[in-house]
Structures are given as C-alpha cells and as structure tokens.
Amino acid sequence: MNYKEALEYIHKINWCFCNPGLERIERLCSKLGDPQKKLKFIHVAGTNGKGSFCAMLSSVLSEAGYKTGLFTSPYIKVFNERMAINGDMISDDELAYLTELVRPIADEMEEKPTEFELITAIAFEYFARNNCDYVVLECGLGGRLDSTNIIDTSVLSVITGIDFDHTAILGDTIEKIAFEKAGIIKSGTPCLWCGENEDAYRVISKRAEECNSPFYSVDHTLTRINRFELDGTEFDYGKYKNVFIPLLGEYQPFNASNVLAAIDILRHLGVDIKEEHIRNGLKKVVWHARFEIISKSPLVIADGGHNPEGVRSAINSVKRYFKDEKLNIISGVMADKDTGYISGQIGSVAKEVFCVTPDNPRALPSKEYAKLYNDMGVKSSHYETVKDAVFAAMQNAIDTGSSVLCVGSLYMYSEVAKYVQQFNVQNKNETI
C-alpha cells in the first residue's frame, strides 16, 4: 500500500457511518495490542481553542526535551498534520505502512470502524511505536463517546470552553454539551477548566467531583495584554511576565494563559518544564488558520472560526487590530450553523462580502449566503469558485487600499491559501 492508496482507504465513503459508541475503537485497538495503554496523554476537549492549546502545549513539552506526540483534527493543508511528533508530521511511508497494518483488522470487524476511529487507532500505533513520552490528544467531537476517549487514564484532562456547536449530536443546551465534554475526565486525574460559562462550570466541576479528580479553573482576570500587534502578542499571566506568542487573534493570549495554567499543574505532578522551555516553546509555535497572515501585500488574514464563538472571536480581533476600518471578507459557512448570528457578526466589519460555497456536503450555497448580507444592507456577491472570490477580493483590496479576511469555514483554508499565493505570483506581489 502506498500513500495515495492509504488515504483512499481511510476516506472510503462507507467509513462515514456513525453510530456513537466506543465499542468499535476498543475492538480495533485490542487487536493492535492496545497501543494507547503504552502512552501518557494530556487529553483536550472543548468547543473552541483546543487546537491552539494543543499546538502550544506540545511545543513547550518538545522544548523541554520530551518526545511529544500531537493528535489534532481536522487537518488544514495535508492529512499528515493530524499526527506529529516534536513538530514533524508523520511521513507518507509510515502512514501507508500503519494503514496497511490496521486495514485487515478493520476489514474483519462485523461493524466497521468510522473514519475517525481508524485514524485514531493509526495515531495510537504511531505514537507507541515511536516511544513518545507524552501525547497531546485533541478530541474530535464531544468527548464522552469520542474515539480518543478509549484511553483508560490521562496525566491531565483539559476542557478549553463550551459553546453551541454540533448541537444535533451533543445536545441543544450548554449543560448537555458540557456533559459530553466532561466525559473525558478520568478517576483521580486532574481536570483543568478554561472556560467562562457558569452553567458549563457547574456540570464539569460536578463530574470532576464524582471522579475524585482535582479540579482547577483558569482565572482569566490574571491575563493582561501588553502589546497587541500584527507581528505577535506580548502578555502577562500571573507570575509569567512579558510572554511572547507569534500567534495572532484576540483570543490567543487567553489560549496561551490556559497553557500556562496547565503547565503549572504538570510541573506540580513532576513534569520537568523550566521557564526557558515555556518561553521558547511558545515563541516557536506554529498553528495555521487562526488569524494567520497569509499575504502581506495586500494584507490577507485567514481565520478558521466557523461557529458562533469562533466567528465572534475573529471579529473581535478585527476590531482590535483594525479599529473602525472595514475589510473585504471572503466567507463560506455550513448550512447547519447559526448563519444569522454569523452573518451579523461578519457584517459588522465588512466593506464587502465575497461569498463562496465550501467544499463540503453541509455547505450553504453561496447565493443564499450572499442574500443574508444584502438583506442587512451589506454589499455582497457570490462566486462559483473559491479562486474567483479570492481574486476579486484581493484585486478590490488593492484598488481601494483595504485588507482581506477569510472566515467562516476551516474547509476553505487550503484553497484560499493556494489562490492567494497564485494571485500574488501573477501580480508580482510580496509572498509569504
């Protein structure tokens, strides 16, 4: 099996069936010899911020000398991003080899595993074979019945925050969603709550008490932003002064504060992390599609915010960086999101909205999306392709001296980045 064949197998349409439960992943991993039992995990759930949290924490652990695995989803540019060790993605050959190893076991199962379950099993095997000291493990969806929750225990459970998303699966109230996320808390294992919602706090703290788990929460009043520029952010969090992160966005200093709180717990547990490791790890972190500058001339920023909290954070960042300046917005959304709220947020900072249909069966058609903006008096147009929208938005930005923000769907990032680069090459603009 080669790399292409491995991806074709993983993405087979029949893997998309989803009957919630851990039975399939348990059988699959059992046949592999339970590789997850050989690993130590920091398990991370939450509606938003968990990817950035995982990237920052894994960078710090790597800087501290630990062989650190990182499991995230979805991928942004290439599939291999989903599993990495010390910042290096799994190689094409190793992914193909491990997929070929897992395939006969999966094929023999009466109830076939889902795509995400298959990927999770491959990742566990990858990390175990490479003798990782720690694995920073991001939940895919929810927590309680997420395939990553097959792990028996963890060093630390982290819940970054709770908001409305995937309500058809996780529930239509904050309490129901919090219950699902709190399912990752393990008996006797410390739990860190990073959110602000009081209803979620009550559910999660209660679950921690039931599990006899030491419960910690992040005090975000200790976070003070000292410098907030497009080249990075400098902030204080309690005893940590003048910490620099290259990641942009109003929310990132708070995500980084969550990481610092987690590190304090890990240090208390005996994990050797010095302050120089913290500062160097955070300084080196890379995480795409989170208020990321992908072109300097014209200025184009891509943000993967795709649910109410994520979009709200992106728009707050626009207001922080650009004050009252209006931007060209490239946007596409899923039809099952709160499109009224999302369009209202985006419309508040939009000079013009260039609507597209993301490459996903759940996507809202660009014509319907554009109508939402036109109905609220915001100039908008719809495009058949992402390329057309990117070229139109960037040319308009050059003509009018404005900037561009792409927001609304992580599924668009790769295409947007490709066509931004293509536009700049054709127009001999500065590229990144």
Residues above pLDDT 90, as percent of the chain: 83
Question: Average pLDDT of 54-59?
Answer: 98
Q: Is residue 302 scored above 70 in pLDDT? A: yes
pLDDT digits (tens, 9 = 90+) for 35-47: 999 999 999 999 8
* 13 — pLDDT class (breaks 50, 70, 90): low
Give the Cα separation of 78 and 178 in Å (integer): 31
Residue 142 pLDDT: 82
**Residue 385 is part of a domain; what is its CATH number?**
3.90.190.20
Give the Cα separation of 191 and 157 in Å (integer): 5
Residues above pLDDT 70, as percent of the chain: 97
Question: Average pLDDT of 254-258?
Answer: 97
Last residue of a domain, one of 284, 313, 332: 284
Residue 165 pLDDT: 64
Residue 432 placed within a domain? no
Give the Cα separation of 63 and 72 in Å (integer): 19
- Find all residues with CB under 8 Å of 172, minimum gap 6, and list them: 164
Distances in Å between the Cα of 212 and the Cα atoms of 124, 183, 186, 205, 208 are 27, 14, 9, 10, 6
Domain check: are 181 and 122 in the same one? yes
Helical spans, DSSP H, in 239-385: 252-268, 275-284, 308-322, 339-347, 366-375
Domain check: are 337 and 233 in the same one? no
Q: Is residue 163 scored above 80 in pLDDT? A: no
Question: Average pLDDT of 172-181?
Answer: 90
Domain check: are 199 and 318 in the same one? no
Number of domains observed in the structure of the chain: 2
Domain check: are 169 and 68 in the same one? yes
Domain check: are 304 and 345 in the same one? yes
| Strand pairing category for 156-159 and 191-193 | parallel
* 292 — pLDDT class (breaks 50, 70, 90): very high
Domain that holds residue 413: 292-426
Q: Please tell me the least confidently modeled range out of 166-175, 369-378, 398-407.
A: 166-175
Domain check: are 267 and 125 in the same one? yes
Strand, helix or coil at 328? strand
**Residue 85 is part of a domain; what is its CATH number?**
3.40.1190.10
Give the Cα separation of 264 and 268 in Å (integer): 6
For residue 316 the two structure tokens come to: 């707050």
Domain check: are 196 and 318 in the same one? no
- pTM comes to 0.90
* 95 — pLDDT class (breaks 50, 70, 90): very high
* 18 — pLDDT class (breaks 50, 70, 90): low
Last residue of a domain, one of 284, 317, 333: 284
Distances in Å between the Cα of 341 and the Cα atoms of 162, 293, 312, 378 are 17, 25, 9, 14
Count Cβ atoms within 10 A of the Cβ of residue 108 and give its class: 0-12 exposed, 13-18 middle, 19 or more buried: exposed
Residue 15 pLDDT: 46
pLDDT digits (tens, 9 = 90+) for 312-326: 999 999 999 999 999
Q: Is residue 428 scored above 60 in pLDDT? A: yes
Q: Is residue 341 scored above 70 in pLDDT? A: yes
Domain check: are 318 and 271 in the same one? no
